[in-house]
Structure 1
Amino acid sequence: MKIEQIYTGCLAQGAYYIESNGEVAIIDPLRETQQYVDKANKENAKIKYIFETHFHADFVSGHVDLAKKTGATIVYGPGAETNYDIHSAKDNEVFKLGHVTIKVLHTPGHTLESSTYLLFDETGKEHAIFSGDTLFLGDVGRPDLAIKSDLTKEDLASMLFDSLRNKIMPLPDDVIVYPAHGAGSACGKNLSKETIGVLGDQKKTNYALRADMTRDEFVEEVLDGIAPPPQYFAKNAMMNKSGYDEFETVLKKGDNALNPEEFEAIANQEDALVLDVRHEKDFVKGHIPNSIFIGIHGGFAPWVGALITDLKQPILLVTPEGKEKETVTRLSRVGYDNTLGYLKGGIESWKASGKDIETIDSITVDEFSKQYKNETTNVLDVRKDGEYQSEHLQGNHVQHFALDYINDNMNAISKDKNYYVHCAGGYRSIIAASILKARGFNNLTDIAGGFGAIKNTDLPTTDFVCPSTL
């Protein structure tokens, strides 16, 4: 028996490859599926099953494409309904894979069809669970993502309480836990940086698995502090339920080199969004007018999903050299399949063609400190609510809204005012500045180094804010 976790940091997502005696199961595959086919071919094995733990909301799974390529059976938990062929498993149904066995444990709560897959080794011993978003290391899945359900999040949290206590906690302490996500995922709120653990440790340390926890306590604690889901979550879940275009087709369309004239023409004809994925320091120095920055070196795909509201939005790319295919791939992982091409030669070719570029003003924290003494200095803090509440600049002219919700807060600031924009380190503030600038907010200055640099000055900060003032 061979088990391999294939972890993707950008999505904080774990897919799994299980092989026994020439037969393979893939659990929660990524959109680009050739890697699994190649791995199975290398092992002289055949992919037999594709197990989905639930309808994922934070990424588009590769199950449909992988089934077409291999003839493997897609397995979902009880109650799953799709627009393509699947095997909707029964609770406790067993699947043979070579010399091992995989048992379906229906564990609703995160979603209604959510299931955990219990792996028995060659001797029949309970070896591991592939827990999807039911159980993470340090947390459990958020119970507010059910598709078209009349159930409340409290109802789902109550289901999750039963699932954990009746299906998972009775398992032996030495059972290995392979979750679908780690730290950085918006599918939970307190996920560990570790991506593999054992159940016994979770029983001791995971707040949601306390032995003396009542149902009411569980519901209250699981729901406490959950931020609204990103706007693309429901859309990705529907793609996973309904199907999608083949990844190779999406990649071929997006891997299209365009000279500056072609690039500009398509941008105008298709009303395409120009997405610049270079480093923020490069974007600040020069970029195409009205382009949006989301750097590929950061939390790229989740930020795209949070901020670009239309999955079908035509997109043109400005990328670092050699990152073109990677960018199209990472966009497709969260359902943005309408990339039309990229600027051949990058921003330098745009400049060489004599076309206009724009810049963003950026100043050091020392320069900002001098400006801050001016009582009319307006500061825009785009960190998350929890970061802001923990500590922020003092002053009547400090405003805050999280970058996640910038599209809902345009009316909270004025195009007639000058704003100094910051996040924690400089990545998110440039995303915010690029979006605001494209919407006509031209009086923006980035504070290089963000709040991390501000804390090293003598500028006044506070570590408490009444929530009503947010």
Structure 2
Amino acid sequence: MFFQAIQTPGLAHVSYVLGDNGEALVVDPRRDLDVYLEVLHSQGLRLRYVLMTHRQEDFVLGVTALSLLTGARIVAGKHPITGYADLQMGERERLQLGRLFLLALHTPGHTPESFSWAIFLDSHPKHAWGVFSGDALLAGESGRTDLPDPERTYENAALLYDSLHREILPLGDQALVFPAHGAGSVCGGHIDDRALTTLGIERHRNPVFVLGRDDFIAHKLHERLPRPPYFSRMEELNLRGGSPLDRDPRTVPPLPPRTFRESSRNGLVIDTREPEAFAGGHLPGSLSIGMKALPTFGGWVAAPDTSVFLVMSEGVEPEQAVLALARIGIDRVEGVLAGGFGAWRNAGLPIERSATLTPSELQEHAERYQLLDVRGLSEFESGHIPGAHHAYVGQLEERLPELELRPEVPVAVTCDAGYRSGLATSLLLRHGFQNVSNLLGGMTAWKKLELPVEEGAPHPKETPAPREYPTGDEVYSE
């Protein structure tokens, strides 16, 4: 038997390769396929199946592409949404793989077509070795229940509770749990940062098993997680099993500074350096999204038809950023600044700056600043700087008018550590704010210094309507 989990950096997505007796299947692959082909080749495995747990909203699947490339059959649970699959399996039907078999278990609630797949060894057919749970069951949490329809969050939470208790819990404490996402994903609320878990651990710690049905439903209703705009595009692509990469990410051209300036005039410049480097000097109008945050926030600021141009840190391969965007359906990366910001600076081209603040500096001169907290709503409610305005960074541009911030008055922006506030700082600069400072260390450093904190919701004027501005716990784990 062979088993390997494959992590996708930045998205907290996990796919899997399972093999036995020369045969293999891949579960929920992403669209860049080289990693799966390399594993299969190195282990001498022939791919028989590409297995889906459910449609995915936060990345482009590589299900159809991998099937076409290898001749493997696409396998999914029996549901109209997965009608393109070669083999649709009904409740408790078996899929044989070498000396293993997988049992199809319908576990709706996160999405209606969600299926989990219990794994059994032929030698121990009564005791599950593990289960591919998709996003139905995560480490320390369960999948969000608002994605198919926010108006049906209550009903979906009840469905999820019932299906996990009926189908998954009886598999036994010994069963390993292999979810499709880990900590930092937007597919669940408070996902534990654990690489390995079992049903025994989850039975004692996971809200879906610890709470009663009514309390669990209330727990899901309170999540208020953000729904990035690119999710709709992912749904569209993944209803067909995803799409292959349009091109080799290594072919994006490096552009010398003056060519870069002309080419990017009608596009979007994303600076992937750290927030401190961006503050020290950057291209006018560029947006600050550090590499760690790019797979999440790239989809908030760029659409599929956006022409994107990248500024990279020294020593970081552009391919990493191009792939990070391609995995969320942003394929039109049309150039990388050759020589990085240093080349732009040395060419004597225009430079814009922002500012930074330490918590102590902000505390000492708080009266000078308008304060803006761009974390999720639950984070803000749990403790924020007194007097701070609130808008989740993903909705900042659309909510600017109602915040009534004055462009001529200095603004101090905070998040948890600095990445989200770095993006917010660059957005404010694009909207004509003249003096914007990123609070370095964010609320993490502020609280460690035991500076004043108040709890509770924003002032009513700044409170987003639940449907129009769904915000919540952090999208990117800083």
Compute the TM-score of the two structures, normalised by the length of structure 1: 0.91
Distance change >3 Å, CA 199–CA 248, structure 1 → 2: same
Secondary structure in structure 2 of the residue aligned to 1:461: coil
Residue number among 423, 432, 435 corresponding to 2:424 in the alignment: 432
| Structure 1: 5+ residue stretches without partners | none
Distance change >3 Å, CA 460–CA 257, structure 1 → 2: same
Q: 1:284 maps to which residue? A: 279
Higher mean Cα deviation, 284-293 or 456-465?
Answer: 456-465
Residue number among 311, 321, 326 corresponding to 2:304 in the alignment: 311
Q: Are 2:341 and 1:347 aligned?
A: yes
Q: 2:134 maps to which residue? A: 132
Question: Within 1, Cα distance between the matches of 2:288 and 2:180?
Answer: 29
Amino acid at match of 1:322: V
- Determine if contact 1:236/1:335 at 8 Å carries over to the other structure: yes
State the 1:345 CA deviation: 1.0
Question: Within 1, Cα distance between the matches of 2:249 and 2:390?
Answer: 38
- Determine if contact 2:77/2:115 at 8 Å carries over to the other structure: yes
Secondary structure in structure 2 of the residue aligned to 1:169: helix
Q: Kindly tell me the number of residue pairs found equivalent between the two proteins.
A: 457
State the 1:72 CA deviation: 1.1
Amino acid at match of 1:315: V
Q: 2:212 maps to which residue? A: 213
Secondary structure in structure 2 of the residue aligned to 1:462: coil
Secondary structure in structure 2 of the residue aligned to 1:460: coil
Amino acid at match of 2:13: Q
- Determine if contact 1:80/1:88 at 8 Å carries over to the other structure: no
Amino acid at match of 1:281: E
Question: Within 1, Cα distance between the matches of 2:76 and 2:23?
Answer: 19
Residue number among 326, 329, 351 corresponding to 2:323 in the alignment: 329
Amino acid at match of 2:418: G
Question: Within 2, Cα distance between the matches of 1:178 and 1:456?
Answer: 35
Question: Within 2, Cα distance between the matches of 1:350 and 1:180?
Answer: 41
Distance change >3 Å, CA 265–CA 309, structure 1 → 2: closer
State the 1:457 CA deviation: 5.3
- Determine if contact 1:49/1:72 at 8 Å carries over to the other structure: yes
State the 1:98 CA deviation: 1.4
Question: Within 2, Cα distance between the matches of 1:275 and 1:160?
Answer: 39
State the 1:150 CA deviation: 10
Secondary structure in structure 1 of the residue aligned to 2:261: helix
Distance change >3 Å, CA 467–CA 132, structure 1 → 2: farther
Amino acid at match of 1:264: R
Question: Within 1, Cα distance between the matches of 2:415 and 2:140?
Answer: 27
Secondary structure in structure 2 of the residue aligned to 1:66: helix
Q: Are 2:399 and 1:409 aligned?
A: yes
Higher mean Cα deviation, 363-372 or 128-137?
Answer: 363-372
State the 1:394 CA deviation: 2.1
Deviations 1:249-277 (A, max 9, x none): 16255x22111232122212xx2100110
Q: 1:235 maps to which residue? A: 233
Deviations 1:158-183 (A, max 9, x none): 22122112211121221111111122
Amino acid at match of 1:400: H
Q: 1:224 maps to which residue? A: 222
Aligned counterparts, 1:37-48, within 5 A: 37-48=37-48
Question: Within 1, Cα distance between the matches of 2:318 and 2:259?
Answer: 17
Question: Within 2, Cα distance between the matches of 1:245 and 1:176?
Answer: 30
Secondary structure in structure 1 of the residue aligned to 2:223: coil
Secondary structure in structure 1 of the residue aligned to 2:202: helix
Aligned counterparts, 1:194-209, within 5 A: 194-209=194-209
| Structure 2: 5+ residue stretches without partners | 464-478
Aligned counterparts, 1:16-165, within 5 A: 16-81=16-81, 86-125=86-125, 126-146=128-148, 152-165=152-165
- Determine if contact 1:425/1:448 at 8 Å carries over to the other structure: yes
State the 1:407 CA deviation: 2.6
Q: Are 2:445 and 1:448 aligned?
A: no
Residue number among 260, 263, 288 corresponding to 1:266 in the alignment: 263
Deviations 1:55-78 (A, max 9, x none): 001111221221121111112222
Distance change >3 Å, CA 407–CA 311, structure 1 → 2: farther
Q: 2:351 maps to which residue? A: 357
Higher mean Cα deviation, 312-321 or 149-158?
Answer: 149-158
State the 1:300 CA deviation: 2.5
State the 1:409 CA deviation: 1.4
Q: 2:466 maps to which residue? A: none
Q: Are 2:380 and 1:382 aligned?
A: no
Secondary structure in structure 2 of the residue aligned to 1:387: helix
Question: Within 2, Cα distance between the matches of 1:85 and 1:77?
Answer: 9
Amino acid at match of 2:436: L
- Determine if contact 2:105/2:116 at 8 Å carries over to the other structure: yes
Amino acid at match of 1:405: Q
Amino acid at match of 1:227: L
Amino acid at match of 1:236: M
Question: Within 1, Cα distance between the matches of 2:362 and 2:222?
Answer: 37
State the 1:206 CA deviation: 1.3
State the 1:41 CA deviation: 0.9
State the 1:236 CA deviation: 1.1
- Determine if contact 2:257/2:343 at 8 Å carries over to the other structure: yes
Distance change >3 Å, CA 188–CA 462, structure 1 → 2: same
State the 1:295 CA deviation: 0.2
Q: Are 2:196 and 1:185 aligned?
A: no
Amino acid at match of 1:277: T
Question: Within 1, Cα distance between the matches of 2:380 and 2:69?
Answer: 48
- Determine if contact 2:137/2:179 at 8 Å carries over to the other structure: yes
Amino acid at match of 1:20: D
Q: 1:299 maps to which residue? A: 293
Provide the identity percentage.
31
Question: Within 1, Cα distance between the matches of 2:117 and 2:171?
Answer: 12
Higher mean Cα deviation, 183-192 or 79-88?
Answer: 79-88
Amino acid at match of 1:144: D
Q: 1:418 maps to which residue? A: 410
- Determine if contact 1:250/1:337 at 8 Å carries over to the other structure: no
- Determine if contact 2:276/2:356 at 8 Å carries over to the other structure: no
- Determine if contact 2:183/2:193 at 8 Å carries over to the other structure: yes
Q: 1:400 maps to which residue? A: 390
Q: 2:174 maps to which residue? A: 174
- Determine if contact 1:26/1:50 at 8 Å carries over to the other structure: yes
- Determine if contact 1:133/1:179 at 8 Å carries over to the other structure: yes
- Determine if contact 1:273/1:316 at 8 Å carries over to the other structure: yes
Question: Within 2, Cα distance between the matches of 1:124 and 1:391?
Answer: 50
Deviations 1:348-373 (A, max 9, x none): 1112222111111223334333322x
State the 1:142 CA deviation: 1.1
Distance change >3 Å, CA 336–CA 86, structure 1 → 2: farther
State the 1:137 CA deviation: 1.7
State the 1:323 CA deviation: 2.1
